[in-house]
Amino acid sequence: MSSERKPLPIVEVINLRKSYRSTEALRGISFSIGKGEIVGFLGPNGAGKSTTLRILSGLIAADSGEAKVCGVDLAEEEGEVREHIGYLAENNPLPEDFRVIEYLKYRASLKGLKGSRKRDRIKSVLGMCDLERKISERKIGNLSKGFRQRVGIADSLLAEPRLIILDEPTIGLDPRQSAITRKMMERLRGEVSFLLSSHILSEVEACCDRMIILSHGQIVAEGTLVDLQNKFIQSVAFEIVSKAKKIELQRSIRQIDPQCVLLQDDPVEITGRRRFTFTCSKGRETVELILRTLLENQSFEISEFQICRPDLETIFLKATKQNWQEMDLLGRGKSKTDKPRDGIS
């Protein structure tokens, strides 16, 4: 027997499936989360993120598959699993009539905290979430969205859980409040595992060790940012900020490299200029040639040009687009000559 045994993962999900009537929300997903890892759970709306988080929190049951938290099977010991989990629900529902401190005392009691440990933990989470004394005495109904969110996070931290599940924790928060949430996760990094669902990709990129991208109930990408960059964008990516029209710019670039791909369908326009992101498979020299050619054409009015590593947003768009193409959800793949398919590949 080996003396160095691999530690048990905090979360282990194998072939998890869930349907709501005729809609398949999860189509057999499998993943695991190690101790102290911060994992970002990404995906478009309706991808199955919240369903997975709710299953892992013991709020809903899966149709089939296996889900273990801290080695305990959810299907068998749902109650015990909840003792290891801190959960912040989407939209963070809270009772309006209670003061913050009263609510946290109630939640601490529900989670089995008593006496001095209860007092210490409440004091500790109030400090961790920057809910100073004046705020803790206020009624929850009178708090701003940011403070309410912090109350929800404080609640999830109360019982020193081994896994904290945060469903959209920074939704509606200003940058300062988001930074406090990130700081809190940083402080607990290595001790507690986080499973974090968010649409704010820059934030996930900044604080997560690993990302899982979900689309239509399937995992379409998984790994660290570098892994995903290598997997999805093998070629050189470059950004151009220009006043040029998309078609004209694409035509000019494709004269040099016909394989050059524009990553966005509809680049964002700010004050008349658009930021285009292309990928080129022929290497850096070709990209430099493209720049020189574009600069010669004054009508393009190029104000910025940079060779970049693709960010999470680019990877996210590419991974989900690939999944949609595979499932023929973009309505482009099926021609009249196509044979009918038996199922989704």
Partner 1 sequence: MIKGFWVILRFELFALFVSPATYVASFYFLALLGVGFRFFIESFVLTDWILPPLASLVVGLVFGAPALIPFLTMRSFAEERRLGTLETLMSAPVSNLGIVLGKWTASYLFFIFITMASFCFPLIISLWFPEQSQSLGFDKVEQWIGAFSFLLIFGASFSAVGIFASSVTNNQMVAGMLTFTLLTLYLSFMIFYFGENIEFQFFSGFAQIAWSSFGAVFGGLNKMQYFSVGIIDIPTVLYQMVVTFYFLILASTQIDQVKK
Lookup result for tokens 């996210």: 316
Q: What is the DSSP letter of 92?
A: -
> What length does the chain have?
345
Q: What is the largest CA-CA distance in the chain?
A: 75
Q: Are 288 and 240 in contact (CB under 8 A)?
A: no
Check residue 58 for interaction with partner 1 (CB under 8 A). Answer: yes
Member of 64, 109, 144, 281 binding partner 1 (CB under 8 A): 109
Which CB atom, from 17 or from 210, has the smaller least distance to partner 1?
Answer: 17
Check residue 50 for interaction with partner 1 (CB under 8 A). Answer: no
What is d(CA 56, CA 88) in angstroms, rounded to the nearest whole number? 12
Which CB atom, from 56 or from 233, has the smaller least distance to partner 1?
Answer: 56
Between the two ends of the chain, the Cα-to-Cα distance in Å is: 41
Check residue 115 for interaction with partner 1 (CB under 8 A). Answer: no
Check residue 76 for interaction with partner 1 (CB under 8 A). Answer: no
What is d(CA 180, CA 187) in angstroms, rounded to the nearest whole number? 10
- What phi and psi values does residue 130 have, to the nearest 5 degrees? 60, 40
Member of 85, 125, 225, 294 binding partner 1 (CB under 8 A): 85
Check residue 191 for interaction with partner 1 (CB under 8 A). Answer: no
Neighbours of 115 (CB within 10 A): 7
Which range binds partner 1 by CB under 8 A, 88-96, 126-134, 179-187, 304-312? 88-96
> How many residues at the interface with partner 1, by CB under 8 A?
25
CB of 30 to partner 1, least distance (A): 22
Which CB atom, from 60 or from 200, has the smaller least distance to partner 1?
Answer: 60
Which CB atom, from 40 or from 58, has the smaller least distance to partner 1?
Answer: 58
CB of 127 to partner 1, least distance (A): 22
Which CB atom, from 192 or from 249, has the smaller least distance to partner 1?
Answer: 192
Member of 32, 72, 73, 94 binding partner 1 (CB under 8 A): 94
Question: Any idea what the Cα angle at residue 151 is, between residues 106 and 206, rounded to 5°?
Answer: 140
Q: What is the DSSP letter of 334?
A: -
127 to 156: interface string for partner 1, x by CB under 8 A: ----------------------------x-
Member of 8, 30, 64, 91 binding partner 1 (CB under 8 A): 91
Strands 269-270 and 261-262: unpaired
Q: Considering just the CA atoms, what is the radius of gyration of the chain in Å?
A: 24
Helix ranges, the chain (H)? 49-56, 78-83, 100-110, 115-128, 133-136, 145-157, 175-188, 201-207, 225-232, 246-256, 284-296, 312-326
Member of 51, 57, 177, 323 binding partner 1 (CB under 8 A): 57
What is d(CA 255, CA 253) in angstroms, rounded to the nearest whole number? 5
Member of 24, 66, 73, 80 binding partner 1 (CB under 8 A): 80
Strands 85-88 and 72-73: unpaired
CB of 324 to partner 1, least distance (A): 29
Check residue 60 for interaction with partner 1 (CB under 8 A). Answer: yes
Check residue 95 for interaction with partner 1 (CB under 8 A). Answer: yes
Contact residues toward partner 1 (CB under 8 A) are: 57-61, 79-80, 82-83, 85, 87, 89, 91, 93-97, 106-107, 109-112, 155
